[in-house]
Amino acid sequence: MRLVCFNINGIRARLHQLEALIASHQPDLIGLQETKVQDSEFPREAVEAMGYQVHFHGQKGHYGVAMLTREAPEEVRYGFPDDGEDAQRRMIGVRLRAADGEHVWVYNGYFPQGENIEHPTKFPHKRAFYAQLQRLLDEDHSPSERLAVMGDFNISPADIDIGIGEASRKRWLREGKTSFQPIEREWLDGIKAWGLEDSYRRLYPEVDDRFSWFDYRSKGFDREPKRGLRIDHILTTASLSERATDAGIDYDLRAMEKPSDHAPVWTELDL
């Protein structure tokens, strides 16, 4: 079973990338973030023509997530259980049945970026979103389950996941810019402590030059060495982690014409 996670940065503008992703990876499940389209205008027919069942949770112009699966999911969850009517559309989950008959839960989130630790609304929203996920795991699931959480987490877990140069790293920390502030890493570590593992890092613990986001403005992807951040992840419980055979970050997709600023990340599971 191949899982792919991709911040597509506007699905209607990136159908060519989605088509290329499918041709290259033939995934069983694709989690998309930042679809940027309200549900009534989601390009359902175009995606279904690519061979996938599609479920989406979006809003006009911002945020939005979608889940594409080869097989119809047994259950779909839209948002968090405690979301209000005005909640940003940032989370979707599906329950699938694997080839061996066992259930697999996959949640796909577009986590708030937060902007700056001093921001009066955006940073608290990021903290609250992580708390909502922690609550969902604590109350609805067990670490013994087959479960994955994928998405644009907007956090670089460790310093080897930072590729913007040492001077920029220090400046971001000093100025309070988000992505690798110590308090943010505490939130992510809390999610992992529940029973989740970074599937890429499990297989490639020392790789320090692969990133998933590259700034358009500074042309971070076109520079050598490339300058970016690893902020897109697929986290898995032990029963999935032990079945992970490979994982990666697809630079070929990021090198396409009119790309998202993110590269797809993927994990292969022996299921």
pLDDT reported for residue 139: 98
pLDDT reported for residue 154: 99
The helices-and-strands tally (H runs, E runs) of the chain is 8, 14
28 is catalytic: no
pLDDT reported for residue 95: 99
Q: Look at strands 2-7 and 29-33 and give their pairing.
A: parallel
Q: Active-site residue among 52, 107, 110, 200?
A: 110
pLDDT reported for residue 49: 98
pLDDT reported for residue 234: 99
**CB-CB neighbours of 13 under 10 Å:** 13
Task: Specify whether the CB–CB gap between 257 and 173 falls below 8 A.
Answer: no
Task: Specify whether the CB–CB gap between 56 and 20 falls below 8 A.
Answer: no
pLDDT reported for residue 180: 99
Q: Report how far apart, in Å, the C-alpha atoms of 164 and of each of 153, 156, 247, 254 are.
A: 18, 12, 23, 17
Task: Specify whether the CB–CB gap between 48 and 89 falls below 8 A.
Answer: no
Cα(210)–Cα(101) distance, rounded to whole angstroms?
35
Please identify every stretch of the chain with a pLDDT value under 50, giving residue numbers as ranges: none
What would the two tokens of residue 163 be? 């590729």
Beta bridge partners of 234: 150
Q: Write down the domain spans for the chain.
A: 2-269
Secondary element (H or E) of residue 104:
strand 103-110
159 is catalytic: no
Q: Active-site residue among 25, 63, 152, 232?
A: 152
The phi, psi pair for 73, rounded to 5°, reads -70, 155
Task: Specify whether the CB–CB gap between 164 and 229 falls below 8 A.
Answer: yes
Cα(213)–Cα(220) distance, rounded to whole angstroms?
9
Q: Is 152 annotated as a binding residue?
A: yes
Q: Is 154 annotated as a binding residue?
A: yes
Q: What is the pLDDT of residues 141-190, one digit of tens each?
A: 999 999 999 999 999 999 999 999 999 999 999 999 999 999 999 999 99
CATH number attached to the domain at 2-269: 3.60.10.10
pLDDT reported for residue 124: 99
16 is catalytic: no
CA dihedral 247, 106, 269, 184 (to 10 degrees): 30
| DSSP annotation of 42 | -
Cα(9)–Cα(56) distance, rounded to whole angstroms?
15
pLDDT reported for residue 60: 93
What would the two tokens of residue 115 be? 């902007």
Cα(153)–Cα(132) distance, rounded to whole angstroms?
14
Q: Is 262 annotated as a binding residue?
A: yes
